[in-house]
Structure 1
Amino acid sequence: MKWTGSILLALTAPSSALIRFQCSQLVVERLDPLVTPGEIPSPHVHQIVGGNSFNATMHPEKDMPGESTCTTCQFAEDFSNYWTAILYFRARNGTYKRVPQRGNAFFESATGGGMTVYYMQDPLYDTAQKSKVQAFQPGFRMFIGDVNARSKEEAARFRQLTYTCLDNFGSREQETVAFPDRICNEGIMTSLRFPTCWDGVNLDSPDHMAHMSYPESGTFESGGPCPASHPVRTSQVMFEVIWDTRQFNNKEDWPEDGSQPFVWSFGDPTGYANHGDYVFGWKDDSLQKILDTECYVDCKGAKLQSMEEMNKCSGLEPMVEEDIDGWLTQLPGGHIAS
């Protein structure tokens, strides 16, 4: 799939635009229209936020914004879909229980906890946001991570998929690439930062990653340049998801060998297989307008909706009927921790 429209490479007039917003949970089920389109159910459970046109197929030629009637995200013109795997607790007796989520700071009333989404022109700590970036185009989609990774070496090519053990709800330091191996008083936050260099042509690729690249040298945070193969600089999309592990903090319930008890819905007990999916769905040129506007979090002219309006869009009827919330002898889809 290719985008044939013109690309604005000569970008001028620095602005400030850091977009940070909450999305309530749309649905939790085994669907994955990016990696396994049309497969009902998909191999493992995901939590999805965003536009309510989400379905098992989501063909890139279809008009996503036009098909959605609402979105669980604060920006009313963002009908994109964002999703991650679900976290489970593995008890000492070998059974599994889904870990609930918490809304981020100031977003505690978001249905299902959902996730916080960022679009950044520059590093999060640089509030000036001086760079100019190209918005994604209709039909664009991408994936980050490796569901088969079980070691630090296998996960190394994905530079920014991390965990933060929340000693308090405001903790944002000491990120790790594996699951924390200790009790986290207020939960575990996962952060997924997508690559920021686009080839300028392809809206997708067979692995959903090759059309995007990390900077040629350095990182997004250090302002590293894009490689010649991927010359178009995009905003960095980042997800923050807070898993409410507080009810599982009794170590007597943890595996007898003392190992950390959490496992992704596809069976990864290491955390190295953290991954996320993104399907673009902003209406018209609304994202580019925001990226070109001098703003910080709240952008002039952007159409925002209240938490109550977001939450009304939650609760999409699942297409897959199965128990994902009880104490389970195996993970949905037949997975076990391995």
Structure 2
Amino acid sequence: MSEDFSNYWTAVMYFKHPTNGSYHRVPVINNAALAPNTKGGITVYYTPYDFTTDNLRNQPIRAFPPGFRMTVGSPATNTLDQAKGHIGLRYNCLTTTINRGPEMVDFPDRPCPGGIFAVHHFPACWDGKNLDSPDHQSHMFNTIKNDGFTNAPACPASHPVRMPQVTYETVWDTTKFNSLWPSGTPNPFVWSFEGTSGYGTHADYMFGWKGDSLQRAMNKSECFYDGCGSITKQVMTEANKCTVPDMVGEETDGWLEKLPGMAM
């Protein structure tokens, strides 16, 4: 979408070699349902209530205002009970790029033939006042109690403004490391903050759509998948030209003794 200049971020996954402890970055591959010529990246959804229907449209959907930002999850999450409380932050052990299998709270405990699928659902109820909050989360409220792609109950009085539910999907190509994972040994994948379990998965969002383009999409009665509200869509060959220059200059390719950013 050529009018979308928002920032989307998740941590990077690394493989930690079970023998020598070195690290290798896990590449991202494109979601199987995306357009041809897509090069990796995160799949981002803006949905009114859920993935397929909008049966509970009892209040209008308001697009995020300029300057809005939020996060979901926390790198400090380190127990199963805490992780279960982060509704919609889940993993799938892919059999193929299409067959996802059941959702899991933690990293898979066995090699996945099609890679590891990570999903991040953001809350959709806003307090109507704050573009951000000290913890980057309390200005938002999540009314979904189970799976992320479900109809969300009405927003509470404390957070009365219904906004789009933003969801990220990332496909990590862990398949090239499966032969290095000895049978019966613990999961060897870690997040870039040295998260040895999957509990600390988290994501950031900063709104950046041009003008009222996102609001036009939310105003359309039957907006699904893409092309809603006269949003300008680019072909993937053109979209792939949009890149961000390396501003750090830190080595991230090949086998590394330490994770990037960690003291040597």
TM-score, normalised relative to structure 2: 0.91
The residue type equivalent to 1:268 in the other structure is G
Question: Which of 212, 222, 237 in structure 1 is aligned with 2:140?
Answer: 212
Number of the residue aligned with 2:231: 302
Shift of 1:109: 2.7
Identity percentage of aligned residues? 47
SS at the partner of 1:296? coil
C-alpha contact 1:267 1:335 (8 A) present in aligned 2: no
C-alpha contact 2:56 2:151 (8 A) present in aligned 1: no
Number of the residue aligned with 1:225: 154
**Distance (Å, rounded) in 2 between the aligned partners of 1:274 and 1:317:** 25
User: Residue 124 in 1 paired to residue 51 in 2?
Assistant: yes
The residue type equivalent to 1:282 in the other structure is W
The residue type equivalent to 2:200 in the other structure is A
Shift of 1:195: 0.5
C-alpha contact 1:216 1:226 (8 A) present in aligned 2: no
Structure of greater relative contact order (alpha carbons < 8 Å, 6+ residues apart): 2
Shift of 1:219: 7.5
C-alpha contact 1:101 1:241 (8 A) present in aligned 2: yes
The residue type equivalent to 1:194 in the other structure is F
SS at the partner of 1:332? coil
Shift of 1:304: 0.6
Cα distance change, pair 79–234 in 1 and its aligned pair in 2 (3 A): same
Question: Which of 155, 164, 167 in structure 1 is aligned with 2:95?
Answer: 167
Number of the residue aligned with 1:38: none
Task: Map residues 134-213 of structure 1 onto 2, 5 A cutoff.
Answer: 134-213=62-141
Question: Which of 226, 233, 254 in structure 1 is aligned with 2:181?
Answer: 254
Number of the residue aligned with 1:82: 8
- Aligned residue-pair number: 258
**Distance (Å, rounded) in 1 between the aligned partners of 2:218 and 2:70:** 19
**Distance (Å, rounded) in 1 between the aligned partners of 2:101 and 2:54:** 18
- Coordinate RMSD, CA, aligned: 2.1
User: Residue 276 in 1 paired to residue 203 in 2?
Assistant: yes
**Distance (Å, rounded) in 2 between the aligned partners of 1:215 and 1:325:** 40
SS at the partner of 1:162? strand
The residue type equivalent to 2:231 in the other structure is A
User: Residue 323 in 1 paired to residue 251 in 2?
Assistant: yes
Cα distance change, pair 272–211 in 1 and its aligned pair in 2 (3 A): same
The residue type equivalent to 2:45 in the other structure is Y
CA offsets 1:173-196 (integer angstroms, 9 cap, x no match): 411110011111111110000001
C-alpha contact 2:219 2:229 (8 A) present in aligned 1: no
Number of the residue aligned with 1:242: 171
C-alpha contact 2:89 2:105 (8 A) present in aligned 1: yes
Cα distance change, pair 225–256 in 1 and its aligned pair in 2 (3 A): same
Shift of 1:127: 6.5
**Distance (Å, rounded) in 2 between the aligned partners of 1:331 and 1:255:** 22
Shift of 1:217: 6.9
Task: Map residues 18-167 of structure 1 onto 2, 5 A cutoff.
Answer: 75-92=1-18, 93-105=20-32, 106-107=34-35, 109-111=37-39, 113-126=40-53, 130=57, 132-167=60-95
The residue type equivalent to 1:244 in the other structure is D
**Distance (Å, rounded) in 1 between the aligned partners of 2:31 and 2:263:** 29
**Distance (Å, rounded) in 1 between the aligned partners of 2:54 and 2:145:** 23
Structure 1 residue runs without a partner (length 5+): 1-74
